[in-house]
Amino acid sequence: MSDFAAISVPGRVADAAEGITTEELALAARNHGLPLEALRYDVTPPGLHYVLTHYDIPPGPAGAWCLTIGGLVARELTVDLEGLRSMPATTVRVTLECAGNGRALLTPRPVSQPWLVEAVGTAEWTGTPLRALLAEAGLAAEAVEVVFTGADHGVERGVEQDYQRSLPLSVAIGADPEVLVVYEMNGAPLPPQHGFPLRLIVPGWYGMAHVKWLRTITVVGAPFTGYQQRAYRFIQQPDDVGEAVTRMAPRALLIPPGFPDFMSRTRFVRPGPVRLEGRAWSGRAPVTGVEFSADGGDRWSAAELDPPDGHRWAWRRWQALWTATPGPHMLCARATDADGLTQPLEVQWNRGGFANNGIQRVPVVCVPPPSAAVLP
Amino acid sequence: MSDFAAISVPGRVADAAEGITTEELALAARNHGLPLEALRYDVTPPGLHYVLTHYDIPPGPAGAWCLTIGGLVARELTVDLEGLRSMPATTVRVTLECAGNGRALLTPRPVSQPWLVEAVGTAEWTGTPLRALLAEAGLAAEAVEVVFTGADHGVERGVEQDYQRSLPLSVAIGADPEVLVVYEMNGAPLPPQHGFPLRLIVPGWYGMAHVKWLRTITVVGAPFTGYQQRAYRFIQQPDDVGEAVTRMAPRALLIPPGFPDFMSRTRFVRPGPVRLEGRAWSGRAPVTGVEFSADGGDRWSAAELDPPDGHRWAWRRWQALWTATPGPHMLCARATDADGLTQPLEVQWNRGGFANNGIQRVPVVCVPPPSAAVLP
């Protein structure tokens, strides 16, 4: 590990007035969020869904890609894509959000992938239920967790690794949500950046659980303590243990109305009624309400939430009508779920910058209608 | 215009020690580059091609999308998608690069979309030759330029506008390169972020010329002076006129070898031979040579360039073998084209941050082979 120590340094928190660093920018240029106007689509078109790759997108398989299911099982299985495709398939619509969404809005800012609010997307994933594969392999009585290993390889905070995450056995074999090993996204083979040829889908959980470029599934008899399992925890100080990051906290996002200024992304609208639209989700319990505010969160009004459409693990659309009056406004929205969780006005800071579901703020200026043609 | 002045301010250059601003980060989170490992693909898979949207991605057409060809023509044409698809189609493989690629590496840094080196991609575009459409409309003798208007609407540096760019008539009706009005990318309808349902493709030119969400083509009798035509110029001071930004300068990019550190993106390789691979392109003249350096540009060696494959307007692959020795190295590559243009060691600064084809620098540390298994 000392070979990497000079380069791959521990995580840190930005100084008070420190701008975004070149390293954070390099991550922002590689990875990308959902352009917020793309919240208009029920299912996110390819290329607009958020992407985070810890290391590199691995090359596609040179020959056959085999998935191995081993460890504490009765019979180790090796299955190729044809084998998976010959098993009963399930398709589920899932909203995926990065656990680091909102990180760059925290004060002080944890220095990592600098998401604002847009690390989200929704897709239809098709694949094989994990519990069917585990049943075929036969779980040993001592099984406690299941470890998933991807083909992406790199160094993180000094630790060389293949990307690895685990799930408790109860989650891995659960029926609702049902964890899937998927080979299709929106009816087509997975794009390289979304895990071609195979990835895990864990409906309701933040993105770090959905291991991409999946190669190996290992049933183990003790809680897994690999790097990524230690990294995704809510801590205040480097040596804290903290709670694990698991399911997505409730969040509502608004499609910024009107038209933007290129550089500031501030919105302009004309006076009169403005239809507001957005999406809301929670990985914990169904969203039960969305409210919006036009004054930065002082006063809130109920938005209209689309009725449940059977896609429990996907976002739901909401709408509201706002009457714009000349001058500046700050539009906000917040979601509440059936567990009674509501997005906070004051966010809970944590050192990894995880699960910041602080309320989105969209600056809007209402300007007079154009007095004459503005274009040549 | 004064309605926008307080928000949509003139362009500026960052102060000496100013980090990346939140506004620049918001653009970096929306738009995205090509993850450099995706240089491995001849044709960039959907979602990995760079994207820059000045304003918002417009909603798809509610009804039929019609393209109007008017202005100084014998007969104004209105053609829908079916009409375009019924005309003879051309497919061309084109490498597209944003004119602002490399902007955030300039000192001082022009404050705008903060690209490093990755704003590039290659696709197969299918559509109708523009010159066929113009011939059908019949060009008037006074025709000088052709103006293209997209459906994306916003405010930029105080000016409300639909995105508009022009081409000189000689370019618009040229046979090599042939300008296309395209409706397919890689054999499928255009994705929303790449201009659905129609965009312009101008092989060899920087991205600003390839107007997306194309609605109107207008033949005009004088050089067009709209906002985007004034913005994309090489200037030193705000009031300079400068030369127009047109064709892509030569550039080579290297697939960063080995495996990365998550945060710094520094690469690690093991001692011994390392195969280097990348792509090179120029919009001015065919690439004739690529060189690489492992010491930051002091010494250069010729790389092996793939033979021409008939795709004149697309990048070409190059390869080299490098023998890594323990310690830090700085890998670089540079391209030369048939006009004799070579990427500069010292870049020419300009206020818009355009066409910075300064040499890519990839920090690599060669570490000893692992002495034991590194993974649990």
Q: Does B10 touch chain A (CB under 8 A)?
A: no
Contact list, A193 vs chain B (CB under 8 Å): 35, 45, 47-48
A156/B192 CB distance under 8 A: no
In the DSSP assignment, the letter for residue B82 is H
The yes-or-no verdict on residue B262 having pLDDT over 50 is yes
Contacts for A145 with CB less than 8 Å, ≥ 6 apart: A166, A167, A168, A169, A172, A219, A220, A222, A223, A224
* Stretch A97-126: mean pLDDT: 97
CA-to-CA distance for B78 and B66, rounded, in angstroms? 6
Q: Which of A195, A216, A244 is the C-terminal boundary of a domain? A: A244
End-to-end CA distance of chain B: 63
A373 part of a folded domain: no
Residue of A9, A24, A30 to mutate, testing the B interface (most B Cβ within 10 Å of its Cβ): A30
Closest C-alpha among B344, B361, B158 to residue B267: B361
Per the structure, how many domains does chain B have? Answer: 2
* Stretch B33-58: mean pLDDT: 97
Helices (H), A91-214: 130-137, 169-172
Grade residue A371 by pLDDT with cuts at 50, 70 and 90: low
CA-to-CA distance for A205 and A179, rounded, in angstroms? 10
Contact list, B154 vs chain A (CB under 8 Å): 259-262
Task: State both tokens at B372.
Answer: 């034991």
CA-to-CA distance for B355 and B333, rounded, in angstroms? 17
- B216 and B122, same domain (yes or no): yes
- B266 and B210, same domain (yes or no): no
pLDDT top residue among B3 and A241: A241
Residue of A23, A57, A148, A155 to mutate, testing the B interface (most B Cβ within 10 Å of its Cβ): A155
- A284 and A230, same domain (yes or no): no
**Residue B43: CA atoms inside 13 Å, Cβ hemisphere, count?**
11
A residues 211-250 near B, CB within 8 Å? 226
- B240 and B255, same domain (yes or no): no
Helix (H) or strand (E) holding B134: helix B130-137
Task: State both tokens at A62.
Answer: 């040179």
Q: From residue B266, how far is each of B185, B187, B327 by CA, in Å? A: 33, 36, 13
Helix (H) or strand (E) holding A3: helix A2-5
Coil, strand, or helix at residue B73?
A: strand
- A238 and A301, same domain (yes or no): no
A261/B154 CB distance under 8 A: yes
The yes-or-no verdict on residue B60 having pLDDT over 90 is no
Helix (H) or strand (E) holding B3: helix B2-5
> Which residue reads 């019949």 in tokens?
B138
- A195 and A63, same domain (yes or no): yes
Q: How far is A50 from chain B (nearest CA, A)?
A: 9
- B23 and B165, same domain (yes or no): yes
> Which residue reads 């897709």 in tokens?
A123
**Considering chain B, what is the average pLDDT of its residues?**
95
CA-to-CA distance for B194 and A35, rounded, in angstroms? 13
Q: Are strands B267-269 and B361-366 parallel, antiparallel or unpaired?
A: parallel
Grade residue A372 by pLDDT with cuts at 50, 70 and 90: low
B269 part of a folded domain: yes
pLDDT of residue B372: 53
CA-to-CA distance for B330 and A106, rounded, in angstroms? 34
- If you write DSSP's letter for every residue of B132-152 in order, what string do you get? HHHHHH-B-TT--EEEEEEEE
B residues 299-358 near A, CB within 8 Å? none
- A239 and A273, same domain (yes or no): no
Cα Rg, chain B, nearest whole Å? 22
The yes-or-no verdict on residue B227 having pLDDT over 80 is yes
A291 part of a folded domain: yes
The yes-or-no verdict on residue B376 having pLDDT over 60 is no
Q: Which of A244, A267, A296 is the C-terminal boundary of a domain? A: A244
Contact list, A365 vs chain B (CB under 8 Å): 3, 7
Q: Does A144 touch chain B (CB under 8 A)?
A: no
To the nearest whole percent, how much of chain A has pLDDT over 90? 93
A371 part of a folded domain: no
The yes-or-no verdict on residue B375 having pLDDT over 80 is no
pLDDT of residue B1: 47
- A222 and A330, same domain (yes or no): no
Range of the structural domain that residue B327 is part of? 251-366
CA-to-CA distance for A224 and A132, rounded, in angstroms? 22
A55/B18 CB distance under 8 A: no
Q: How far is B46 from chain A (nearest CA, A)?
A: 6
The answer, yes or no, to whether the previous bond of A286 is cis (omega within 30 of 0) is no
CA-to-CA distance for B121 and B46, rounded, in angstroms? 10
Which residues are paired to B156 by β-bridges?
B159
Selecting from A32, A53, A367 the residue whose C-beta is nearest the C-beta of B29 gives: A32
State the greatest distance between any 2 C-alpha atoms of chain B, in Å, as a whole number.
77
CATH number where B229 lies: 3.90.420.10
Task: State both tokens at A150.
Answer: 């991807």
B100 part of a folded domain: yes
Contacts for B375 with CB less than 8 Å, ≥ 6 apart: A161, A162, A164
Grade residue B3 by pLDDT with cuts at 50, 70 and 90: confident
B376 part of a folded domain: no
A residues 156-195 near B, CB within 8 Å? 156-157, 160-162, 164, 191-194
Q: Are strands A272-281 and A316-324 parallel, antiparallel or unpaired?
A: antiparallel
* Stretch A256-265: mean pLDDT: 97
Contact list, B54 vs chain A (CB under 8 Å): 262
Which residues are paired to A244 by β-bridges?
A233
* Stretch A232-243: mean pLDDT: 96
- B33 and B73, same domain (yes or no): yes
**Considering chain A, what is the average pLDDT of its residues?**
95
Q: Which of B225, B244, B263 is the C-terminal boundary of a domain? A: B244
pLDDT of residue A16: 87
Model pLDDT for residues B128-147, shown as the tens digit of each residue:
999 999 999 999 999 999 99
- A44 and A59, same domain (yes or no): yes
Helix (H) or strand (E) holding A333: strand A327-337
Contacts for A372 with CB less than 8 Å, ≥ 6 apart: none
Of A9-23, A243-257, B190-204, the poorest mean pLDDT is in A9-23
CATH number where A292 lies: 2.60.40.650
Task: State both tokens at B267.
Answer: 């690469």
To the nearest whole percent, how much of chain A has pLDDT over 70? 98
pLDDT of residue A376: 43
Task: State both tokens at A358.
Answer: 């602080």
- If you write DSSP's letter for every residue of B91-128 in order, what string do you get? EEEEEEE-TTTTGGGSSSPBSSS---S--EEEEEEEEE
* Stretch B215-227: mean pLDDT: 98
A105 part of a folded domain: yes
Q: Are strands A327-337 and A361-366 parallel, antiparallel or unpaired?
A: antiparallel
Grade residue B371 by pLDDT with cuts at 50, 70 and 90: low
Q: How many CB atoms lie within 10 A of CB A87?
A: 15
- B221 and B76, same domain (yes or no): yes
